[in-house]
Amino acid sequence: MGERRKVLMSAYACEPGRGSEPEVGWRWATEMARYHDVTVVTRANNRSVIEAALASMPPPHPGFLYYDPPAPWVRWKGRGVPVSVFYALWQWGVRRKVAPMLGGFDLVHHVTFNSFRQPGYWWQRQPPVVLGPLGGGQICPWAFLPGFRSRLIPELFRSLTVLSAPWWPQLHFSFRSAAVILVANADTARRIPARYRSKVRTLLETGVTPEQVLPLRPVRRDGPVRVLWVSRMEKIKGGTLAVAAFARARRSEPRLRLSMVGDGPDAGAVKAAAVRLGVASAIEWHGRVPRDQLPFLFQSHDVFLFTSLRDTSGNALLEAMAAGLPAVTLLHHGQAEIATDETAIRVAPRDPESAANDLAGALVTLARDPGRRQRMSEAARERVIRFYVWPRKAEVMNRIYQEAWDAGAAAGGSGCAKG
């Protein structure tokens, strides 16, 4: 396994069992603790959940440092201070808290939040710094923005910050100091200023556990063809696009059925679209379901529909592939890199009308071709096993750490705190 070294990991979001970024922070911490002596600095309000989980896990465990800004800032966050402002304050405070300890570590690894616009304040050469995997470089296709309605201005503002970020001085400090800059997708890689791109490596920020890789089941050849959509219902997830595509597909293939799993601020609009398009009775609405029920849903459906209009990766798509579901997706952002033409039919998101038509055509194609569904099912599961299970990803990250140490040594620093 090699020499164990001391790694300081910055993971604002780090909680087991939560999904999304908290789960990403937790998985990187626990997986890399198998290779090195990892100390994670995270939010103080994560402490009880983390310590309960550690008590039931076999060693080796990561160690944890807990930090929150002064109490007034925590209260102000609960009263509407933007998360990005609070997070920047947290990162600055963490940097000051651990500054006296940095000489005791061999490497600093910034993990979460994974936005390339806020990679922390690790502006030192030694110990070497690994950033990421960073995401957030995606922009919702402009043609879809009019459908955002009340969310149009926030989404437009976010898009403008993504476009302007490469000129922010603090990002140049971070990228100049980093030994390696990991990015989760090609969109984010393009946002890294050209002078730092020699440091850029691509690695998806998330993964699945070996337990989430499910046995393949025989493809159903008769009866209804069941399509599954899983996401939080908000504008960027494209719920109304999914319903529009399903409605058009049903005109050609009435055997299709759709299950929509998730809840959120856009749920009313999605359900209203289903009523307007005359397909509400062909849709099963599950609302939000516990994570331990998702494997059953994956295995009881035939096709996975993923319509996110802006996403660093797409955890639900990855989990569906691990369960052997062939997919219909948009050909952009993280989903374009997770899925391939062997595992999904991928549709260019040119505009809402053409995307709905093309997604509908893809659903009809898969509904009528069980042999293709079988081949895609096998390829999807194999791709996850090869690239996206957490132990495999940890092997890759360990090689990235070694690259950072080698770069630090070549730059003339020891990059090592023996203990």
d(CA 310, CA 314): 9
Same structural domain, 185 and 245: no
Do 293 and 357 fall within a single domain?
yes
In a domain, 57, yes or no: yes
pTM score of the predicted model: 0.93
Is there a single domain that holds both residue 269 and residue 139? no
Q: Are residues 39 and 89 in the same domain?
A: yes
For residues 12 and 123, state if they share a domain: yes
Does 113 map to a domain?
A: yes
Q: What is the CATH number of the domain that holds 163?
A: 3.40.50.2000
Same domain, 32 and 153: yes
Whether residues 266 and 329 share a domain: the answer is yes
pLDDT in tens, 276-334: 999 999 999 999 999 889 999 999 999 999 999 999 999 999 999 999 999 999 999 99
User: What is the pLDDT, as a whole number, of residue 71?
Assistant: 75
Shared-domain flag, residues 401 and 381: no
Q: Would residue 415 count as lying in a domain?
A: no
Domain boundaries, position 317: 210-387
Check whether residue 215 and residue 186 sit in a common domain. Answer: no
Does one domain contain both 401 and 299? no
Residue 418, domain member (yes or no): no
Is there a cis peptide before residue 72, judged by omega within 30 degrees of 0?
no
Domain for residue 116, yes or no? yes
Let me know whether 118 and 261 are in one domain.
no
Q: Is residue 76 part of a domain?
A: yes
82 shares a domain with 188 = yes
The total domain count for the chain is 2
pLDDT tens, position by position, for the chain (419 residues)? 578 999 999 999 999 988 789 999 999 999 999 999 999 999 998 999 999 999 999 999 999 999 988 877 667 666 666 888 889 999 999 999 999 999 999 999 999 999 999 999 999 889 999 999 999 999 999 999 999 999 999 999 999 999 999 999 999 999 999 999 999 999 999 999 999 999 999 999 999 999 999 999 999 888 999 999 999 999 999 999 999 999 999 999 999 999 999 999 999 999 999 999 999 999 999 999 998 899 999 999 999 999 999 999 999 999 999 999 999 999 999 999 999 999 999 999 999 999 999 999 999 999 999 999 999 999 999 999 999 999 999 999 999 999 999 987 766 654 444 43
- 383 in any annotated domain: yes
